Chain A
């Protein structure tokens, strides 16, 4: 169901997007009155139920974008819309999957999934039923009473996914969630992730530095430029799910996007050492 209505026909008549960012800018203040412009009037629309990947050079502000949606960083300019309604940053209900699992090691796996649910005004029984449901969805119901340090890194990351989904978010944010895993585990996790995403029909914004991963997972791939980040390329991936890693269409698309990516890098010139330094201050 999620895969329908996603052929991105860029026509004038379109359904209201789930999430819409309008000219979002983000400046960080640096010492001695300098400023670092990280996002420069970024426009982005994410359809309901889509899995949109954002690919860009490292340090380009991809994570900043997710942090803005999560309300962790205030925006400098711009507006955010959810279901056609303008909202404040901290009003977007998000689930966040980080690069590291970021679980509380003194809580059981179930306790970790329950953590955000305890903040929502839900009856206890409903909370627990929900936690169990999402643990089962990621295949960990038998490990519910284990502690995070007793299970593998891949399992920990699955708990993190269950935790993010359990809040039933308007948008699921994922920040390179598989990059800290070994490649075989990461592959299995990507397949799992697609299955889980399809089972829940959630809208997903997925940040990665891997074009291959983006193409394999997404309904749409958005390439952003080096800082300040702007949308450079926005391509749909018209391949039905479940996808195979060896699919030639994916491979062709990966090559094409990589070529565009390199062209963009060339256009932007050699890496600016000074601005790299500035960001570290």
Chain B
């Protein structure tokens, strides 16, 4: 039942709000403002066009950076999955890429490319790609080889084998990678904005941090979280349902 899982979702959110309100009532407003104060701030922010400008800027950086990471990560992950040599050559790099703190990418790309959007795209792209590459690598390794044999017996060329038999099997892994990359990308975006840019959600967080406004810091965090949740429900979930439409639903 659709209403049933929604009621549980609402229960989860209210539970969290109750815990938050309880904690806030015992602490001064500068340390932890309550939910109602923060929601009021969010409401007031939403009446200012500037807010949407900053959100828009961050969304664009996240989307472009993540797009770069998806293309690069998928390509590298697939190569690692289908070729032994590719795996030997690339796996160290992917692991190194995963280990280096994202702040380093942010600092380096700002030093190289200056205080601009391009630096943000590069930093986000490079930070998010190892996670995607690893997901796709595992995805390609988990493919059903008997289907590949079938394809070969029916004389599918290499390109068709990859496009029609291998890649569709990795779609669930790709979706997992997108979700993961989205989380990473937005974190890096705020970090880059915080260290070097003068626009975006990260910049605003930095600004209100400078003014010691806990209320605004929480308001901006929650606002952008809301954007991501919206993206999950408006884009990723429907997409997920569409690409796995062939799977019979498990009914409870």
Contacts and interface: CB of A to CB of B under 8 A. Distances in A.
A72 B149 CA distance: 7
Contact of B160 (A70, A71, A102, A118): A118
B248 A149 contact: yes
A96 B147 CA distance: 12
A102 B165 CA distance: 11
Contacts of A102: 146-147, 149-150
A131 to B, nearest CB: 13
Given A98-B146, A104-B147, A119 B157 contact: yes
Interface residues of A, number: 26
Contacts of A71: 152-153, 155
Contact of B246 (A95, A119, A149): A149
Interface string B45-81: 0000000000000000000000000000000000000
Contact of A116 (B147, B149, B154, B171): B154
Contacts of B179: none
B214 interface: no
Interface in A102-152: 102, 104-107, 115-116, 118-119, 147-150
Given A102-B146, A147-B246, A119 B156 contact: yes
B154 A104 contact: no
Contacts of B152: 70-72
Interface in A134-181: 147-150, 163, 167, 173
Contacts of A58: none
A96 B168 contact: no
A75 interface: no
Interface in B141-177: 146-147, 149-157, 160, 164-165, 168, 171
Contacts of A148: 246
Given A104-B165, A105-B246, A94 B147 contact: no
Interface string B231-246: 0000000000001011
Nearest to B246: A147
Given A106-B246, A119-B160, A70 B153 contact: yes
B84 to A, nearest CB: 18
- Mostly, the B contact residues are helix
A202 to B, nearest CB: 15
A90 interface: yes
B143 to A, nearest CB: 12
- Mostly, the A contact residues are loop
A149 to B, nearest CB: 5
Contacts of A72: 149, 152-153
A100 B146 contact: yes
Nearest to B243: A106
B5 interface: no
B156 A116 contact: yes
B247 interface: yes
B246 A96 contact: no
Nearest to B147: A102
B146 A167 contact: no
A105 B171 CA distance: 13
Contacts of B149: 72, 102
Given A70-B153, A149-B247, 16 more contacts: A71-B153, A72-B149, A72-B152, A90-B155, A94-B153, A96-B150, A96-B154, A104-B168, A106-B243, A116-B154, A116-B156, A118-B160, A119-B157, A148-B246, A163-B154, A173-B153
18 contacts: A70-B152, A90-B155, A102-B146, A102-B149, A104-B147, A104-B165, A105-B246, A106-B171, A107-B246, A115-B151, A116-B154, A116-B156, A118-B164, A119-B156, A119-B160, A147-B245, A150-B248, A163-B154
Interface of A: 70-72, 90, 93-96, 98, 100, 102, 104-107, 115-116, 118-119, 147-150, 163, 167, 173
